[in-house]
Homo-oligomer: A and B are copies of this chain.
């Protein structure tokens, strides 16, 4: 499996709007086993996204999906920066859904 842990910073005051854009696009992504969008309680503009995919190829392919392309276009103006981008290799756990 392929995993990502990322932190991004929204333009001030736009975190909720950015989160709803991110959540709009998360269902129906082939190979997506987990995609969690979270607020950072210590930073009013920060968002954490943790992802699990059945493969890196599935993740890469998802970036071309119309729904994801639309979310990227819509979300880009609300993003102030990308702070962390960590790749992982998930081994297992609870709540790893079947492929999306």
A63 at the interface (CB under 8 A from B): no
Question: Closest residue of chain B to A33, judged by CB?
Answer: B95
Asked whether A48 and B94 contact (CB < 8 A) given A41-B89, A89-B41, the answer is no
Interface size range of chain A in the complex? 35 or more
Instruction: Answer whether residue A91 sits at the interface, using C-beta atoms and an 8 A cutoff.
Output: yes
**A81 proximal to B (CB < 8 A):** no
Known: A94-B100, A95-B33. A89 touches B50 (CB 8 A): no
Which 10 pairs show the lowest CB-CB distances between chains A and B? A34-B95, A38-B88, A95-B97, A36-B93, A38-B90, A39-B89, A50-B50, A35-B94, A26-B94, A35-B93
A-B contact pairs, 22 of them (CB 8 A): A3-B36, A5-B5, A23-B93, A26-B94, A29-B94, A36-B50, A36-B52, A36-B93, A36-B94, A36-B95, A37-B91, A38-B88, A38-B90, A40-B86, A40-B88, A41-B88, A48-B88, A50-B50, A52-B95, A94-B97, A95-B100, A97-B97
